[in-house]
Amino acid sequence: MTIVFDGVAAGMLLFLISIGLSVTLGLMNFVNLAHGAFAMLGGYVCVLLLGQAGWPFLLAVPTAAAAAALAGVVLERTLYRRLYAASHLDQVLFSIGIVFMSISAAHYFFGARQQPIMLPDFLLGQFVLPGIDVGIYRLFLIVIGLGLAYGLHWMVRRTRFGAQLRAAVDNPRAARGLGIDVDRVFTLAFALGSGLAGLGGALGVEMLGLDPGFPVKYMVYFLIVVAVGGSGNIHGSLIASLMLGLFDVCGKYYLPQVGAFIIYAVMVVMLIFKPQGLFGRSAAK
């Protein structure tokens, strides 16, 4: 049971990081393979603030998310925007370029080693329920993940920004006609996605690890979440992330000799038989 619990926590992290990709790839139709770079940025900022500057954890994590969001805005305004209309291949090449640059920048500033993270005392330790050891930090991750999933769902369904985003994605031209500032909406959506990735990266240092190879190591996982969960679908992404987290953690524990093979196989089979994802694309609309 403890393993299941860990799997759920890992799934929540994947959800936090992937939901932004679900928006850019799924809704805005931009293949951003560099999405993990924003998560990595959040991770490094968090580690730096905690370790070097001695900030408290609960302040460092949101700052890390903000830093990733800011980086997202800057890159979107200067570079990404030019490629919205480009082919998927161009977007792939461009974002691989960004990945390479981010990896070598991380190498340059932080070296190749895994970054340690010091969690605050109140998140350490675990308590024992019948049949399950509950790590407090794991529980913290699950609560935050659920809270954000609910918050995002509410934002997309109920707020003005959510309505504008849905309109801008469905039909940019018509949305412009209605007086929606589509460019601004896209920038904000991109910033939100990068910010969430940064948040996931910061919270994930303890579980997923953090080294310069991060953007490539988890790239396929993020893609799987989008592929399986369906584009821009919050519920779908959440369920897909949880499944993936469970598969991954349980698989590594019970079937180490098979490794990640199953996960890739599931993705390929999914893409072939249900190219719209298990949960379609309609639920977010």
Partner 1 sequence: MTPAALDLSPLRRAAAWHPAEFAFWLLPPAAYFLFPDYLALLSQIAITALFVLSLDLILGYAGIVSLGQAAFFGLGAYAAGMLGKYGWGDPLLGLAAAAGVAGLIGFVTSFLVLRGADLTRLMVTLGVSMMLFEAANKMTDITGGVDGLQGIEMKPIFGAFSFDLYGKTAYWYTVIVLFLLFLLARRLVNSPFGLSLRGIKQNVLRMPAIGAPVHGRLVTIYTLAAAYAGIAGALLTQTTQFASVDVLAFNRSAEILLILVLGGSGSLYGALIGTVFFMVAHHFLSDINPQYWQFWLGATLVLIVLFARDGIMGLGRAAVARLGRKAP
Residue from 3, 73, 105, 283 touching partner 1 (CB under 8 A): that is: 105
Position 66 contacts partner 1 (CB under 8 A)? no
Amino acid identity of 67? A
CA distances, 93 to each of 68, 90, 98, 109, 185 (Å): 21, 5, 9, 24, 25
Position 264 contacts partner 1 (CB under 8 A)? yes
Residue from 4, 101, 143, 178 touching partner 1 (CB under 8 A): that is: 101
Half-sphere exposure of 53 (CA within 13 A, CB side): 13
Position 21 contacts partner 1 (CB under 8 A)? no
Position 158 contacts partner 1 (CB under 8 A)? no
For residues 249 and 13, the answer to whether their CB atoms sit within 8 Å is: no
Residue from 74, 77, 261, 282 touching partner 1 (CB under 8 A): that is: 261
Region near partner 1 per CB under 8 A, out of 60-68, 152-160, 173-181, 259-267: 259-267
Half-sphere exposure of 67 (CA within 13 A, CB side): 24
Position 77 contacts partner 1 (CB under 8 A)? no
Instruction: Copy the structure tokens of residue 85.
Output: 């209309």
Minimum CB distance to partner 1 smaller for 107 or for 158: 107
Position 87 contacts partner 1 (CB under 8 A)? yes
Position 74 contacts partner 1 (CB under 8 A)? no
Position 258 contacts partner 1 (CB under 8 A)? yes
Closest distance of CB 102 from partner 1, Å: 8
Position 94 contacts partner 1 (CB under 8 A)? yes
Position 272 contacts partner 1 (CB under 8 A)? yes
Minimum CB distance to partner 1 smaller for 102 or for 194: 102
Minimum CB distance to partner 1 smaller for 63 or for 102: 102
Name the CA radius of gyration of the chain, rounded: 18
Question: Binding residues for partner 1, per CB under 8 A?
Answer: 25, 31, 79, 82-83, 86-90, 92-94, 96-105, 107-108, 216, 220, 223, 227, 257-261, 264-265, 267-268, 271-272, 275
